């Protein structure tokens, strides 16, 4: 099968990478929304309605790296819409319904780095589509949906 988009010829080059089972992970994959690859060619996909992020390693088996429990400390992940990866390999996920942003390290440490309070003055009502951009390893930009703001999160580079 061949598809054409914007004058580019796209060929079906292999089997389906992921389906609603999410590669067999417990939470499955419901309404995939965003996709990104890291420097090691691992694929990350947000499940908008399954409230998770699935990693499909370049070699290996799919695994759920964050689910609806978020960081496990009471900060839930609900309706993840955006994902990006920093130069240091950290993954960043922004969620619409839970109005927050998580940082996930390569060792799978999960930290909420922004919540609905935004910057303390301007609330964060949730991200818009294609809302997250990481510059290097320490500057994370997040577009808000309704507040017409761009938030900058800076992280300490170790």
pLDDT surpassing 70 at residue 148: yes
* Within a domain: 54: yes
* Within a domain: 49: yes
Q: Given this model, what pLDDT does residue 156 score?
A: 74
* Within a domain: 86: yes
Residues in the chain: 158
136 band by pLDDT with thresholds 50, 70 and 90? confident
Give the domain CATH number at 51: 2.120.10.30
> The tokens of 57 are what?
């390693």
Reference 64, options 35, 31, 117, 26; nearest CA is: 26
Domain residues for the domain of 130 are: 20-154
Number of structural domains found in the chain:
1
What does the mean pLDDT of the chain come to? 84
Q: Given this model, what pLDDT does residue 4 score?
A: 38
* Within a domain: 115: yes
* Within a domain: 141: yes
* Within a domain: 7: no
146 band by pLDDT with thresholds 50, 70 and 90? confident
Q: Global pTM?
A: 0.85
User: How does pLDDT run across 79-130, given as a tens digit for each residue?
Assistant: 999 999 999 999 999 999 999 999 999 999 999 999 999 999 999 998 877 7
Q: Given this model, what pLDDT does residue 128 score?
A: 77
* Within a domain: 139: yes
Question: What's CA 17's distance to the chain center, in Å?
Answer: 17
* Within a domain: 4: no
Specify the range with the lowest mean pLDDT, choosing from 19-33, 74-88, 89-103, 127-141: 19-33
């Amino acid at each position: 099968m061949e598809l054409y988009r914007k004058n580019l010829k796209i060929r079906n080059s292999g089997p389906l990478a992921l389906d609603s089972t999410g590669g067999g992970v417990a939470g499955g994959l419901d309404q995939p929304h965003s996709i990104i690859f890291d420097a090691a060619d691992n694929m990350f996909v947000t499940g908008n309605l399954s409230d998770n992020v699935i990693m499909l390693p370049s070699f290996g088996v799919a695994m759920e790296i964050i689910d609806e429990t978020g960081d496990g400390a009471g900060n839930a992940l609900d309706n993840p819409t955006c994902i990006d990866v920093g130069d240091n390999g950290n993954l960043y996920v922004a969620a619409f319904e839970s109005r927050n942003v998580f940082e996930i390290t390569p060792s799978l440490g999960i930290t909420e780095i922004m919540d609905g309070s935004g910057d303390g003055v301007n609330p964060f009502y949730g991200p818009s589509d294609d809302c997250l951009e990481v510059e290097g390893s320490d500057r994370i930009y997040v577009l808000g949906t309704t507040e017409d703001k761009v938030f900058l999160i800076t992280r300490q580079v170790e």
